[in-house]
Structure 1
């Protein structure tokens, strides 16, 4: 009995040791399986290959919401654990929205340059008929606000302030028609201040007399811009009194079509001058004075004049003239 009892005790101790050994083994196996399962879950790991704050493909760095990013390419994976090489390929394959929507600097600069070179037509436009009234004034020798000097042909007129447009109308030829059927071509050499209304022409008495008796006073008219054959064969250029290499003002005389712009060549390229109300183009700092001049009419034709010295109050002839339209 004693032997049997001790043997049973040893057997129980042996079974207990087996259980004690077996439980840790089972727990170890379960833990290994759990770890393996966790490792296999997509996106569960951290991407230690990308530095903190680096951009994910399609999302700018520093934009955690990605609201400004482009849509990912169709079928492209968006998993953050995607290798960086694949992310770079996806980014290069689909340009960002900002790159496709915003023009390049060179394209913008090219567009700005083209727009600046195109002349503005102003209020007086070719092919447009204007209505107004004609009045008359004593034009004396024909000089006026445009500062062309005395006029050999007194078929001249003063343009109302609105359509004068800071001397843009100076030198323009207009065909004036009265309701009675009479017509006359005049050249704009002066400005008619308020109360001259838009469309109104203040004709020299000599010109008005071609349309009606001076006693009429006011005459209903229509008028249109001309590009006449009767214009001088060539135009001239004149520097204003006081002009030098340090300050100059330039005027165009005898041009067939209204002048829209005047530029001077400088070391950095063509420089467009501002126009004054007294019909001169001004270079207040002298930059370009005495250099080549480029003149543009309202039709966009450009004429370049070289080799003119700064000679104040001298009308220097050129070899060029604007074409008829």
Structure 2
């Protein structure tokens, strides 16, 4: 599909029926240490992707529907390699590519030209998840959030976020929040006036707890916390040990 058509398709597909996610979730769950293979393409991107992040300051990409996994891939960092020339580029997942096959990645144009000539348009790729580098994760209450309808997003996390649970501060029981395709965890009946405690779990089972968070809507709330590096990794170490492994 051409780059302009692909972008238009993605914008039209911003909402999908929940039942359509089952196949994608089954494909992607538990594949965060694997090397993935597919095709790389590019499109023009300057923000406004399905992950609902602010305009990016670095290189980004849109993840195929299966590996997007109901927005679980949002904010993840991956290294994409062109096996034809050995060039690699690191990108953050900011968007979803509904028409992409499993394993495919739709790179922003600036990222694509770091590994291939623009005129190639579509190339075979391999890719792996890596640790992102932000020093501290942050929380963001979506505009319109209030005590009766509350949506929260986790930003600047080292590894993909699997779940978010909350409780009123001073209580004991956490309640897991459902995640929407636009990458917010939503309490449709609200969370009350706050403050709140949050339990944030990454795809490897690591947990960060944040306490006494006020309902401060529309601003990044730094937590001074981050998921630990796995197994003594350096920040840039690839999670998979098989970056260049054959298919």
* TM-score normalized with structure 2 length: 0.77
Q: Which residue of structure 2 lines up, in the alignment, with residue 241 of structure 1?
A: 143
Paired with 2:81 and 2:195, the residues of 1 have a C-alpha distance of 42
- Matching residue of 1:208: 112
Q: Is the 8 A contact 1:121 1:260 kept in 2?
A: no
Contact 1:134 1:202 in 2 (8 A): yes
Q: C-alpha separation between the residues in 1 aligned to 2:30 and 2:40?
A: 17
Is 1:280 paired with 2:181? no
Counterpart of 1:219 (choices 118, 123, 126) is 123
Deviation at 1:126, TM superposition (A): 2.9
1:307-322 correspondence to structure 2 within 5 Å: 307-322=212-227
The corresponding residue for 2:29 is 123
* CA distance in structure 1 between the partners assigned to 2:167 and 2:195 by the alignment: 9
Taking the aligned partners of 1:186 and 1:144, their CA distance within structure 2 comes to 14
Q: State the structure with more CA Rg.
A: 1
- Distance apart, 1:236 and its partner CA: 0.6
What's the counterpart of residue 56 of structure 1? Answer: none
Deviation of 1:121 after TM superposition, in Å, equals 10
- Going from structure 1 to structure 2, the CA distance change for 1:160 and 1:121 (only over 3 Å counts) comes to closer
Partner in structure 1 of residue 237 of structure 2: none
Quote the Cα distance in structure 2 between the aligned partners of 1:290 and 1:138.
40
SS at match of 1:232: coil
Gaps of 5+ in 2: 1-25, 231-247
CA distance in 1, matches of 2:30, 2:52: 20
Q: Counterpart of 1:168?
A: 72
User: Is residue 2:157 matched to residue 1:251?
Assistant: no
Secondary structure of residue in 1 paired with 2:214: coil
Shift in Å, 1:125: 2.4
Q: Which residue of 2 aligns with 1:150?
A: 55
Whether the 8 Å CA contact 1:126–1:226 is kept in 2: the answer is no
1:163-184 CA-partner distances (Å, limit 9, x unpaired): 1111011011111111110001
Shift of 1:324: 1.7
Equivalent residues of 1:121, 1:298 under 8 A apart: no
Q: Distance in 2 between matches of 1:161 and 1:278?
A: 13
- TM-score, with structure 1 as normaliser: 0.59
* 2:98 aligns with one of 181, 193, 207: 193
Call closer, same or farther: CA 1:261–1:122 in 2, change over 3 Å.
Answer: farther
d(CA) in 2 for partners of 1:298 and 1:121?
14
Q: Distance in 2 between matches of 1:253 and 1:151?
A: 12
Number of residue pairs matched? Answer: 201
Name the structure with the higher strand share.
2
Distance 1:121 1:257 in 2: 19
Matched, 1:133 2:39: yes
Q: Post-superposition shift, 1:242?
A: 1.1
Shift of 1:143: 3.6
Q: Secondary structure at the match of 1:207?
A: helix
Separation of aligned partners in 2, 1:282 and 1:227? 26
Please give the alpha-carbon distance, in whole angstroms, between the structure 1 residues aligned to 2:226 and 2:121.
37
User: Greater RCO between the two (CA within 8 Å, min separation 6)?
Assistant: 2
Answer yes or no: is the 8 Å Cα contact 2:64–2:101 preserved in 1. yes
The 1-side partners of 2:115 and 2:29 are apart by 25
